[in-house]
Structure 1
Amino acid sequence: MEAIKKDSIFIVDDDQGILDSFDAMLGDNYPLYMVNNGVDALQYLDRYQPYLMFLDLKMPRMNGLELLKNIAERNLSTIIVVVTALPQEEYKELAHQYGVYKYLQKPLDVNEVEDIAAVVLH
């Protein structure tokens, strides 16, 4: 497994508008790698070990919780920030059981996303 550059950000979300938002928020300052489902993300993870990942929970084919489980089984040191519209506490608790760094509610706060990237990657 090869590690990507430490300042790179991996974004997994099935909503193209969210991917575009991340590009607008962070694309000028960081290399971004984006996929729109958990299955493709898992294939990517098999090849690279991203340092920071923003992950949606509700996706087709493999949801974010299933992907978190797979990441935990691989013992990756990726720092994960969950980005979701799902407000339920049970999801937040499950995410934290898998070592999630932060749990953000959609719609996203630009300053919060930028701050997380700056703190984690610098």
Structure 2
Amino acid sequence: MPKPRILIADDEEGIRESLSLILEHDYDLTFAENGQQALEALRRASFDVVLLDIKMPKLDGLDVLRTLRKAKTKPPILVLTAYQSVELAKEAVKLGARDYLPKPFDRAQILDAVRGILHGG
């Protein structure tokens, strides 16, 4: 059985590396450094979950969500945001994100959130 596919879109290399260490064993990961790369990846392939940062260069997470709103199908999206951006995260949920997690996050939070999305939670 193939591993579920996750797109991780975050401009911070350290966050991408942390998420990779947490998720690489059980999931097939693809990375994007900005919103534009995330949209390109989503056009090329399908994903089971997207982990999306709000504040990114070129195209931020909210713009990605606005673009995806127009798409016929879109994967469930979990927004990752710095604590001071909780209001933006709430806006992201209004735009279609499934949920959000504040940064910094821990291993258990990420795994629980991803598993919850994949198993219909």
Structure 1 unpaired stretches of 5+: none
For the 8 Å contact 2:54–2:89, the answer to whether it is kept is no
The aligned residue for residue 119 of structure 1 is: 116
Report what 2:105 is aligned to: 108
Q: Distance in 1 between matches of 2:38 and 2:86?
A: 25
The answer as to whether partners of 2:79 and 2:92 remain within 8 angstroms in 1 is yes
Unaligned runs of 5+ in 2: none
Q: How many residues align?
A: 118
TM-score scaled by structure 1? 0.87
Tell me what 1:66 maps to. 63
Cα RMSD of the aligned pairs, angstroms, is 1.6
Distance 1:74 1:119, change over 3 A: same
34-43 or 82-91, which deviates more: 82-91
After superposition, residues 17-96 of structure 1 pair within 5 angstroms as 17-96=14-93
CA deviation string 1:85-118 (max 9, x = no partner): 1534531331111221111110012101011222
In 2, the alpha carbon distance for the partners of 1:88 and 1:42 equals 22
Using CA pairs under 8 Å that are at least 6 residues apart, name the structure with larger relative contact order, 1 or 2.
1
**d(CA) in 2 for partners of 1:94 and 1:107?**
19
